[in-house]
């Protein structure tokens, strides 16, 4: 039997992950509604271009607005007859959350509660939302597993993400709303965020500027390619759980130094490196145990060699280098 097409509300759909996800959902025939306030945490032009260029030729509904605006959400849910929600809109970025903690609380917690309220009222069939590997805080047991306690976040951002997991549990438990929280591990790829390492490094190397390599490059990450993140998110969307938390990460640990090497190979240019100590709020290693999602059938497929190449190609084309 052919799969029933669905209508999905993507919050933060002009964002890095949201726009990639919107494309993938529409490619398989689903309908997409996006809400995004196009805020200026980073260049809003990049967000507008994701809508205008990455999603060129696709038919979808776009609302420029804020998830804290309860009246707007009411209007959208009433009008659009949405089946499922992927909630990605958030203030992201660990370091910025130390500077603007109350904004993070407002958007990430209040915004999420607004959406959960509407999802219950309008009988949404599945609510999938972005959590983060940062909830593991200073946990030393590696790899990070969903069964590990995560009661010691070390940034306001991480604390808001943990809070959304707790709040989602309330709505699953009391109202039977299926919710899945996805703990994304360092996502990278074309149309990526200018505040994240890959973008910062490529940009600096191209411009001949020195890059800051924190923790002397000894950080380890499960870098996760954005297409793998989207496929995992769609997988979660298609398989509603009563209440679930899942890690989504690449299956290979990489050091920051190896990551930089691959960038250099792709740019054909060496980086000027400034080795630095750890930054407050950052964690030295985030290695994902992805067995839970894997058992259900999801698998990451992209290695950094391929993913970084795709990013560098996109960067050169977008910025006309």
The one segment of 61-69, 168-176, 274-282, 297-305 that binds ligand NAD by CB under 6 A: 61-69
What's the CA gap between 56 and 62, in Å, rounded? 13
Shortest distance in whole angstroms from residue 46 CB to ligand NAD: 8
- Assign 3-class secondary structure to 86-99: EECCCCCCHHHHHH
Stretch that binds ligand NAD, among 90-98, 171-179, 200-208, 313-321 (CB under 6 A): 90-98
Smallest CA-to-CA distance from 229 within 162, 288, 305, 298 is with: 298
Query: Taking a C-beta distance cutoff of 8 angstroms, is the pair 255, 262 a contact?
Result: no
Q: Which of residues 176-205 bind ligand NAD (CB under 6 A)?
A: 184, 186-187, 193
- Minimum distance from CB of 223 to ligand NAD (Å)? 9
Using CB under 6 A, pick the residue from 7, 49, 61, 68 that binds ligand NAD: 68
109 near ligand NAD (CB under 6 A): no
Active site residue 216: no
3-state secondary structure of 159: helix
Our CB check for ligand NAD shows the closer of 88 and 213 to be 88
What element of type H or E holds 76? helix 70-80
Tokens 């707790």 — which residue? Answer: 166
Among 92, 283, 287, 308, binds ligand NAD (CB under 6 A): 92
Q: Verify binding: residue 250, ligand NAD, rule CB under 6 A.
A: no
Q: By C-alpha distance, which of 181, 195, 303, 189 is closest to 247?
A: 181
- Which residue lies nearer to ligand NAD by CB, 5 or 233? 233
Task: Give me 27's structure tokens.
Answer: 């490619």
Q: Are 52 and 261 in contact (CB under 8 A)?
A: no
Choice from 22, 24, 30, 37 touching ligand NAD (CB under 6 A): 37
Exposure string over 128-148, b if 16+ CB within 10 A, otherwise e: bbbbbbbbbbebeeebbebee
Q: Is the Cα torsion angle 67, 135, 174, 295 positive or negative in sign? A: positive
The residue whose Cβ lies closest to ligand NAD is 15
The Cα–Cα gap between 199 and 2 comes to 40
Which CB sits closer to ligand NAD, 178 or 249? 249
Task: Identify the residue among 23, 24, 47, 84 touching ligand NAD (CB under 6 A).
Answer: 47
Query: Is residue 15 involved in binding ligand NAD (CB under 6 A)?
Result: yes
Q: Give the active site residues.
A: 157
> Where on the chain is the footprint of ligand NAD (CB under 6 A)?
12, 14-18, 35-39, 47, 66-68, 88-92, 107, 111, 130, 132, 184, 186-187, 193
């Amino acid at each position: 039997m052919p799969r029933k097409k669905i209508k999905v509300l993507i919050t933060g759909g002009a964002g890095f992950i949201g726009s990639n996800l919107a494309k993938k959902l529409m490619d398989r025939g689903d309908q997409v509604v996006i809400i995004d306030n196009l805020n200026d945490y980073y260049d809003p032009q990049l967000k507008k271009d994701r809508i205008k260029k990455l999603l060129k030729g696709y038919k979808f509904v776009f609302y420029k607005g804020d998830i804290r605006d309860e009246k707007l959400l009411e209007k959208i849910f009433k009008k659009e007859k949405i089946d499922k929600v992927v909630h990605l809109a958030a203030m992201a970025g660990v370091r910025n959350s130390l500077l603007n903690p109350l904004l993070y609380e407002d958007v990430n917690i209040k915004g999420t509660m607004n959406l959960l309220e509407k999802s219950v009222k309008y009988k949404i069939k599945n609510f999938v939302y972005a959590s983060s590997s940062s909830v593991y805080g200073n946990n030393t047991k590696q790899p990070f597993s969903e069964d590990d306690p995560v009661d010691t976040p070390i940034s306001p951002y991480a604390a808001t993400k943990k809070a959304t997991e707790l709040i989602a549990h309330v709505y699953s438990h009391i109202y039977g709303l299926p919710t899945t929280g996805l703990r994304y591990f360092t996502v990278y790829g074309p149309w990526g965020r200018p505040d994240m390492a890959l973008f910062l490094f490529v940009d600096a190397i191209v411009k001949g500027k020195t890059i800051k390599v924190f923790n002397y490059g000894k950080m380890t990450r499960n870098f996760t390619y954005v297409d793998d993140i989207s496929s995992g998110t769609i997988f979660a969307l298609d398989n509603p759980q009563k209440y679930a938390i899942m890690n989504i990460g690449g299956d290979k640990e990489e050091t920051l130094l190896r990551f930089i090497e691959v960038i250099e190979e792709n740019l054909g240019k060496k980086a000027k490196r400034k080795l630095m100590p750890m930054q407050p709020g950052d964690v030295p290693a985030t290695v994902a145990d992805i067995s839970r999602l894997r058992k259900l059938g999801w698998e990451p497929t992209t290695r950094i060699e391929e993913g970084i190449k795709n990013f560098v190609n996109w960067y050169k084309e977008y910025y006309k280098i």
